[in-house]
């Protein structure tokens, strides 16, 4: 994936929040940004009451990050379509529990994210920080093996939609988000932060958008609860241009979560110290 591929939309980023890019299902089915907004909104209403403070905070995030949408409007420059690989790598679910969920009256001030863990698709990667280039487009990871958190979005676990981007592949092979499209609703996503705390998310939906219909408002727009949006390239591969024609976007919402490791078979747990 070349930098020029991600930055091709730089000329239109001064017109937020109009959707930008060229995105849709590989089958050709189109899905509107409004449909995704309704899906996210339904779950959000079940988890939090919309309050003016939360809406104002989320709107501020939209204004700060809409410019970065251009970073997602073009596809990989691998020069070939992604090819199937072997068995999904095993990634264990770490023991621990998620930090409390934020509200507009009790916000969470989270530490920066350092690691992304998605057990269902075998992803465990460090997270780098992504800002904006001098041209105003989103920076992209210099390597396909790591993902990056966009610093113009909230930190994962804070109110609003945190955005993490990664490559699907390159000419050398699969990238960190090669299997992102295989995620399903309720799959677990964990983000470990610099202070060792965890933010936990459950997948709401996975959508693929034609690049001309990139849902800027749905990805960067107001969110009354803590959300996480993962973005990569995907969909149909255009062999003539060497680019993917779509973007794959995962929408997830923060949840309460706890996991305890079980003792190995045949062993007896130690009694707590007196």
The domain that contains 236 carries what CATH number? 2.40.260.10
Residue 191 inside a domain? The answer is yes
The verdict on residue 159 lying in a domain is: yes
Is 227 inside any structural domain?
yes
Residue 75 domain-assigned (yes or no): yes
- pLDDT tens digit sequence for 44-90: 554 444 455 555 554 444 444 444 555 444 334 444 455 556 789 99
Please give the pLDDT value at position 42.
53
CA 32 to chain centre: 18
Is 215 contained in some domain? yes
pLDDT at 86: 74
Does some domain include residue 8? no
Domain limits for position 51: 21-81+92-258
Q: In the chain, how many domains are there?
A: 1
What the block records as the tokens of 80 is 């070939």
Q: Would you say residue 267 lies in a domain? A: no
Maximum pairwise Cα distance, the chain: 70
Each of the 274 residues of the chain gets a pLDDT tens digit; together they read 444 344 333 222 232 332 233 332 233 333 344 444 454 555 455 444 445 555 555 444 444 444 455 544 433 444 445 555 678 999 999 999 999 999 989 999 999 999 999 999 999 999 999 998 888 777 889 999 999 999 999 999 999 999 999 999 988 889 999 999 999 999 999 999 999 999 999 999 999 999 889 998 999 888 999 999 999 999 998 888 888 899 999 999 999 999 987 765 555 555 444 4
The end-to-end CA distance of the chain, in Å, is: 57
Determine if the peptide bond prior to 28 is cis (ω within 30°).
no
Would you say residue 5 lies in a domain? no
């Amino acid at each position: 994936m070349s930098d020029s591929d991600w930055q091709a939309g730089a000329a239109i980023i001064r017109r937020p929040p109009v959707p930008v890019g060229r995105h849709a299902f590989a089958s050709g089915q189109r899905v509107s940004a409004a449909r995704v907004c309704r899906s996210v909104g339904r779950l959000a209403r079940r988890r939090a009451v919309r309050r003016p403070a939360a809406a104002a905070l989320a709107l501020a995030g939209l204004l700060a990050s809409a410019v970065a949408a251009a970073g997602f409007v073009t596809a990989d420059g691998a020069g070939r379509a992604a090819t199937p690989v072997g068995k999904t790598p095993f990634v264990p679910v770490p023991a621990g529990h998620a930090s409390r969920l934020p509200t507009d009256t009790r916000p969470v001030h989270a530490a920066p994210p350092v690691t992304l863990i998605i057990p269902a698709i075998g992803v465990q990667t460090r997270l780098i920080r992504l800002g904006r280039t001098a041209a105003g487009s989103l920076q992209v990871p210099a390597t396909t093996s790591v993902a990056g958190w966009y610093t113009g979005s909230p930190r994962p676990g804070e109110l609003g939609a945190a955005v993490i981007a990664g490559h699907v592949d390159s000419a050398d092979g699969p990238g960190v988000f090669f299997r992102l499209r295989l995620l399903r609703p309720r799959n677990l996503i964990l983000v470990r932060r610099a202070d060792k705390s965890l933010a936990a998310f459950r997948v709401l939906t996975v959508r693929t958008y034609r690049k001309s219909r990139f849902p800027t408002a749905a990805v960067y727009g107001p969110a009354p609860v803590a959300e996480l949006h993962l973005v990569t390239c995907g969909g149909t591969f255009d062999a003539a241009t060497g680019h993917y024609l779509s973007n794959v976007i995962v929408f997830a919402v923060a949840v309460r979560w706890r996991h305890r490791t079980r003792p190995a078979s045949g062993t007896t747990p130690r009694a707590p110290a007196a």
